[in-house]
Amino acid sequence: MIHLQNLTNRTLGEVTSNGRALLLSAFLSTSGAGAFTSISAVYLVSVAQISPHIVGMGLAASGVAGLAISTQTPQLIRRIGERAALLYLMSFSAVASVAYMAIRGPVFFCAVASTAVAAERGSAICRLVIISRSFPSDQRIVLRAQLQVAANFGFGIGAIAGGFALMVDTFAAYVLIIAANGSTTLAALIFVGRLTCVEEQGVEGFQVTALRDWKFIRISLVNAVSAMHAAILPIAIPLWLTRNSNLPKSLGAMLLVINTALVVLLQVRLSRRAGDFRSALRLNKQAGLLLVISCAIVGISSLLISSLAVILVIIFCVVYTLAEIIQSAGSWRITFALIPENSAASYHAANSTIIRLGTLTAPAVVVSFLQLPNDWGWPALGTFLGASCWLTSKLAKQVPSELVSL
């Protein structure tokens, strides 16, 4: 555990004891998730004997069902407090993780997957509420960025472990990964138990809900459109490469490595630029401009010879990653500034649900732009995403100053 703490300090910079506990719990839980995610498809098809079609349908259905269940997280927080709710949901996550060992049919698979998704989304909401209530406003965005880096780092390490299990390709190796997923989640509970939270049970009654705040919901909806850029690297680029015979298909994997490395190195540093509400509005607009530029670069690369196109695509990846980082930081700051402290759970739940729905629909939206002829899809996609970033800032700026936590 000491080695983990030293690694966290070197990677993320100075953090408080409360922040360190939150980051280490996220690191441990996502490392197990990364390991299991990398083997899940092979395990479900080869070991659990579920057809690929049913796996795809089941994951989609469980994703929606789990998201719906997680919307009840504010009620759980209202009754027992955010730290207890996080402990409760992570325990459910550990049980669901181990239950994958017993899956032998589609019905049980959907039930386990739905429970896992609900627990994961609910835990994310609890962490955001803890940040809102237990950390001063000037620390929240940097801590949110640190949390993102810790999660990415943990997921990457877990994915490497999962890769070794795939190389071995035995039942014992897959079971070991599943057991490790549950174990790392349980280990994360130790750090959650060390959190000193400002518990505010009973503050949020059923009458106080974010759904009644149309200004906030409208901003969240537009922000969810901006966040659809997340589908560009894992989905749009690989599909585009399959249609562009001049470029190597392996380029997509290299871009993901570059993206991950830049996010780990720059996320915390660039997130400090969203120090106040007005800075976040500017940052969001800058992200929109960078998204327009990055997508235009991909469109231009289609017109060039292979060697020049590869260079341009790498430049695209750098510009896109900068846009991804500052869009995240800007949107986090805007969201925290617009959430009343006495209604943090319901507001974070509403915002997380809307963003998640945007993520689920992003692949279809992004791919539809790529169907436009003559590579006009990339400039159109960039304009679409850039306009949504600009509109998010415009709508947020219209919120009365007395409702904004500057």
Average pLDDT over residues 166-193: 90
Contact 247, 310 (CB under 8 A): yes
Q: Measured between alpha carbons, how far is 338 from 116 in angstroms, rounded to an integer?
A: 30
309 by DSSP, 3-state: which? helix
Q: Measured between alpha carbons, how far is 395 from 384 in angstroms, rounded to an integer?
A: 16
Q: Would you say residue 284 has pLDDT above 80?
A: yes
Helix, strand, coil abundance in the chain, percent, nearest 5: 85, 0, 15
The encoded tokens of residue 213 equal 């705040």
155 by DSSP, 3-state: which? helix
**Confidence band for 220, pLDDT divided at 50, 70 and 90:** very high
C-alpha R_g of the chain: 21
Least confident of 249-253, 298-302, 380-384: 249-253
pLDDT at 14: 58
CATH superfamily of 9-193: MFS general substrate transporter like domains (1.20.1250.20)
pLDDT at 381: 94
Distances (CA, A) of 286 to 83, 231, 300, 325, 383: 36, 20, 21, 11, 13
Distances (CA, A) of 120 to 123, 194, 195, 236, 305: 5, 20, 19, 26, 45
In the chain, what are the domain boundaries? 9-193, 211-399
The dotted CATH code for 211-399 is 1.20.1250.20
State the distance between the two ends of the chain, measured CA to CA, in whole angstroms. 37
- Residue 230: which of 356, 61, 49 has the closest Cα? 356
158: which residues sit within 8 A by CB, 6+ positions away? 30, 31, 32, 33, 34, 35, 36, 37, 38, 184
Q: Do domains 9-193 and 211-399 have the same CATH topology?
A: yes
Q: Measured between alpha carbons, how far is 243 from 375 in angstroms, rounded to an integer?
A: 11
Average pLDDT over residues 395-400: 86
**Mean pLDDT taken over the chain:** 83
**Confidence band for 390, pLDDT divided at 50, 70 and 90:** very high
67: which residues sit within 8 A by CB, 6+ positions away? 117, 118, 121, 353, 356, 357, 360
pTM: 0.79
